[in-house]
Every structure is written in structure tokens, then in C-alpha cells.
């Protein structure tokens, strides 16, 4: 499986960095974010290293589709059965910090504000 020795999330996949796991199968790992921004904050990642959504190709469709179909189930199982938001920060403008594709599932509290704060007039 494709991995990058210096990538934090690849190291989590390999068990070199501990994480609080919520789900695992052959090609997907789900764990709790270390700095949650909501009562429920999960990270859903492909086990294979893909740096950003810019790097995703049709060969990643299966695993990325699986992540989407797991989101609702995992949100519900972890206390966000009342709605949640998926976030995939990408690149500089998206303020992606970890360069291994990950889908944030955030929820479990009060409704969020607008998706992106609008700039003033
Ligand atoms: P990004 O800004 O790239 O979309 O989000 C990266 C996320 O990874 C952040 O929410 C951050 O808290 C989380 N994170 C960074 N390092 C670790 C780690 O070692 N363990 C866990 N569980 N989460 C991490
Ligand atoms: Zn990686």
C-alpha cells in the first residue's frame, strides 16, 4: 500500500503514532481528531497515501466513495445523530494542514454557523 514515511496520517495508519480509532477496514481508517472543534470530530482517511483531492484519480473513487457512505453511520454511532458537517480542507486556500486526504465529520452539538463566513460589503 502506498505510504509516505514522513506523513503523520500514514504513521497513524501504521500504528507508529497512537490514535483513538472509531472504525477500520482494509482501506479506510477513522479516528478522533486530537483537537476537536465540536463534541464529535472524526477524521476519515484512506489508508493509502493520497496527499490532496488534487491528487485523487478514478482509482481512488472506491475508497473515497466508501468514506462518504460511512460518514452517516459513524456520525450516528459516535453521538452526532442529529446532523453533521463534512469538511475536506484542500490546499493553501482550503487551509489544509495535513497532506493526506481526510474527511472531517463534525457535529454533536448546537447547529453550526454559516458554511463560510461572508466577508463584509
Ligand atoms: P486539516 O487542517 O489538514 O484539514 O486538518 C488536520 C486535522 O488533523 C486537524 O483538525 C488536527 O487537529 C488533526 N491532527 C493533526 N495531527 C493529529 C494527530 O497526530 N492525531 C490526531 N488524532 N489528529 C491530528
Ligand atoms: Zn499519508
pLDDT at 20: 98
How many folded domains does the chain comprise?
A: 1
Is residue 3 assigned to a domain?
Answer: no
pLDDT at 50: 98
32 falls within a domain: yes
pLDDT at res. 118: 83
- Whole domain around residue 24: which residue ranges? 8-107
Residue 70 lies in a domain: yes
Do the domain assignments include residue 21? yes
pLDDT of residue 117: 84
Q: Which residues surround ligand 2, an ion (CB under 5 A)?
A: 4, 7, 9-10, 49, 100
Q: Is the CB of 98 under 6 A from ligand 1?
A: yes
Residue 22 to residue 77: CA distance in whole angstroms: 9
pLDDT at 31: 98
- CATH code of residue 43: 3.30.428.10
Ligand 1 contacts CB of residue 105 (under 6 A): no
pTM value? 0.96
The candidate with the shortest Cα–Cα distance to 50, out of 42, 60, 40, is: 60
What are the pLDDT tens digits along the chain (121 aa)? 889 999 999 999 999 999 999 999 999 999 999 999 999 999 999 999 999 999 999 999 999 999 999 999 999 999 999 999 999 999 999 999 999 999 999 999 999 998 888 888 7
| Residue 36 CA, distance from chain mean position | 12
Q: Does the Cβ of 99 fall within 6 Å of ligand 1?
A: no
* 115 assigned to some structural domain: no
Our answer to whether residue 102 is catalytic in this structure is yes
Amino acid at each position: 500500500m502506498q505510504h509516505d514515511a514522513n506523513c503523520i496520517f500514514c504513521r497513524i495508519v501504521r500504528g507508529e503514532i497512537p490514535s483513538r480509532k472509531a472504525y477500520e477496514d482494509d482501506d479506510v481508517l477513522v479516528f478522533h481528531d486530537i483537537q476537536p472543534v465540536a463534541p464529535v470530530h472524526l477524521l476519515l482517511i484512506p489508508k493509502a497515501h493520497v496527499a490532496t483531492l488534487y491528487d485523487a484519480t478514478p482509482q481512488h473513487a472506491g475508497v473515497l466513495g466508501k468514506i462518504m457512505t460511512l460518514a452517516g453511520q459513524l456520525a450516528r454511532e459516535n453521538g452526532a445523530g442529529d446532523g453533521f458537517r463534512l469538511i475536506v480542507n484542500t490546499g493553501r486556500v482550503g487551509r489544509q494542514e495535513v497532506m493526506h486526504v481526510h474527511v472531517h465529520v463534525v457535529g454533536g452539538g448546537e447547529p453550526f454557523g454559516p458554511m463560510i463566513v461572508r466577508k463584509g460589503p
